[in-house]
A = this chain, B = another copy of it.
Amino acid sequence: VTGEFATIRRLVDLLPPPRPGAVSPGEVWIGDDAAALRTPQAPWLLLAADAVVAGVHADLALTTLEDLGWKAIAVNLSDIAAMGGTPRYALVTVAGDPAFDLDALYRGIAAAVDAFGCPVVGGDLSNGPGLVVGVSVTGTTDTRPVRRSGAAPADGIWVTGPLGASAAGLRVLRAGPPAEGTDALVAAHARPVPRLREGLAAAAAGATAMIDVSDGLAADLGHIADASGLGYELHALPVADGATVEEALGGGEDYELVFCAPDTGAVEVAFDGLAAPIRIGRCVPDRSRRLWDSQPIDSGGWQHRW
């Protein structure tokens, strides 16, 4: 059986069924013009959308379509995490060449939405060149969303884990068959994990600014510094096992969270039960001052070509 409508039915069947009680009476998930959902009982609605493109965001010679599907979901959930929110619903639009194995793509999407509890409630399938997987996620938060712009001078700066594993994993994959002991690096690249609990903990700790490390620590901390009108001094750079300093500083796609908060001890309390975040430095009033180990660092980061 082929054709758009039949293919959509087959792909929907690959998604995990709604969890018991997840569909409120009268709600419409997949299969109508729009998904219709009971408005979540939270004061704030979070909306994020990112597209993942085969050959741009993932090299299909090195990773799989399952991984691409996982990544498309994960990077969007990471944006919700970086606001201190909880993801609720995902929409998936796929535009691509029929030669791509959509079932594999959807298996990865299904694994991610199942792992992180964010069901796909709608979307679209159309032809197009290459393969572009667009995801938009609706999230909520009960407390003030954590923006990039709220950091204050003398706030501490934390990161939720060591950096550079994703870039190191890509380096390993490019070098040929992965050597023994590199599984964690490859997994960090192929199956990034959004730091959802960590984002909630940072918000609970009174984080004044937060971002996920997608373009690299230097670039993403640069976004916080630009938006908050501050500089920063880093005294520490936690490098993932097997990664280089350059990969930790500029590699990106780690999806750890970087956040600023007053040095009150609230961070340690809020992260009780989670891996302790690593304090890497502090904010300073002079926005032109951006130092690691007393050396200036470049906030350029990786950008798409336009």
Taking Cβ atoms with an 8 Å cutoff, the residues of A that contact B are 2-7, 26, 28, 31-40, 42-51, 53, 55-57, 78-80, 82-83, 85, 89, 91-95, 98, 102, 121-130, 132, 134, 136-141, 144-145, 147-149, 210-212, 227, 303-306
Contact = CB atoms under 8 A, between A and B. Distances in A.
A95 B55 CA distance: 12
A93 B50 contact: yes
A121 B80 CA distance: 15
A120 to B, nearest CB: 10
| Max count, chain B CB within 10 A of own CB: residue among A34, A38, A49, A129 | A34
A134 B32 contact: no
| Max count, chain B CB within 10 A of own CB: residue among A32, A80, A130 | A32
A266 to B, nearest CB: 21
B126 A304 contact: yes
B47 A33 contact: no
| Max count, chain B CB within 10 A of own CB: residue among A36, A121, A127, A140 | A36
A148 to B, nearest CB: 5
A46 B34 contact: yes
B147 A306 contact: no
A29 to B, nearest CB: 10
